[in-house]
Amino acid sequence: MRLYFIRHGQSSNNALWDATGSSDGRSHDPALSATGYRQAAQLAGFLAKRDPAARVAGRDLQNHVGFGVTHVYCSLMERAVATGNAVAEALGLPLYAWPDLHEVGGVYLDDEVTGEPVGLPGSGRAYYQGHYPRLVLGDDVDEGGWWNRPHESRADAQLRAQRFLKDLLDRHGHTDDLVTVISHGDFYNMFMAELLGLGFPSPVWFSLNNVGITRINFDDGLSISYMNRLDFLPRELVT
């Protein structure tokens, strides 16, 4: 298996923070910004590009020939679904929902009085079917919303990263599958800490820009070809 772990395009919350340095007015489930949609289109075109005639000495560790993605997964957060939808459309593949890929904390807003984070339902099945017909949903996504839980603690998020890694290896670990997941920056750090055995809390922060790509190879032991790859983006789209 080869894994491409990719962060979603810029969301309205990302843009809000970049502009103000504050989360005041944040959305509980933000959409992509205009820049985020442009990033997603650039990402999709890059992953779909193939050059079978490219000359590569040894293994194609930089994907000069192409990516050949076989599976595309995303979290159920709006920004990840929209990014994954652009990728899946460009590749002509279904987009599979994987709820465990969600950002740390889940779907929530801070209570205006106490300041404490309060969990919210999240979108329901009809919303996804109406807006993203390519998205393949599990039976556990109903009309009541996919989240419907309290705010997630960081300790629980680390346990989820452990579960995701185990489930990923169970599904694809002994195959030649080329797997893309569209997820989130904080969860990426939880996943990398689990993958590399760094413990919790991790002493290392792994930066991942919007639509940054990390390639992890499981086919001959564990190796990382690159992290936070952004060379396919024009400089004005790097966020």
d(CA 45, CA 89): 10
- Assigned token pair, 82: 């929209």
Query: Which regions of 78-202 does DSSP assign to beta strands (E)?
Result: 95-97, 108-110, 117-119, 135-136, 178-183
User: Is the confidence at residue 57, as pLDDT, over 80?
Assistant: no
Using one digit for the tens of pLDDT, what is the confidence trace for 60-78?
A: 999 999 999 999 999 999 9
Percentage of the chain surpassing pLDDT 90? 93
119 pLDDT tier (thresholds 50, 70, 90): very high
- What pTM was estimated for this model as a whole? 0.97
Is the residue at 135 inside a domain? no
Question: What is the DSSP code (8-state) at residue 236?
Answer: G
Hey, what amino acid is at 67? F
Task: With a cut of 80, say whether residue 40 has pLDDT above it.
Answer: yes
Q: What would the pLDDT profile of 136-185 be if each residue is shown by its tens digit?
A: 999 999 999 999 999 999 999 999 999 999 999 999 999 999 999 999 99
Q: What are phi and psi of 201, to 5 degrees?
A: -75, 150
- pLDDT above 80 for 58: no
By DSSP bridging, strand 71-74 and strand 178-183 are parallel
Sign of the alpha-carbon dihedral angle for 208, 213, 219, 223: negative
Give me the pLDDT at residue 56, please.
79
Residue 220: per-residue pLDDT: 82
Kindly state whether residue 137 falls inside one of the protein's structural domains. Answer: no
Q: Residue 93: which of 127, 48, 128 has the closest Cα? A: 48
Q: Which pLDDT score is estimated for 23?
A: 86
Q: How many folded domains does the chain comprise?
A: 1
Residue 142 belongs to some domain of the structure:
no
Nearest to 93 by CA among 44, 39, 42: 44
Does a structural domain hold residue 140?
no
Tens-digit pLDDT profile for residues 120-139: 999 999 999 999 999 999 99
Taking each helix axis from N to C terminus, what angle separates 185-196 and 154-172, rounded to the nearest 10 degrees? Answer: 70
pLDDT band at 113 (very low <50, low <70, confident <90, very high): very high
Q: Is 148 left (phi over 0), alpha (psi -120 to 50) or beta?
A: left
**CA–CA dist 66, 77 (Å, integer):** 28
**How high is the pLDDT of residue 197?**
97
Task: Say if 187 falls within a structural domain.
Answer: yes
Give the domain CATH number at 162.
3.40.50.1240
Q: Are 215 and 225 contacting, i.e. CB atoms less than 8 angstroms apart?
A: yes
**Domain hosting residue 186, numbered range:** 2-109+152-237
* Domain assignment of residue 126, yes or no: no
In a domain, 115, yes or no: no
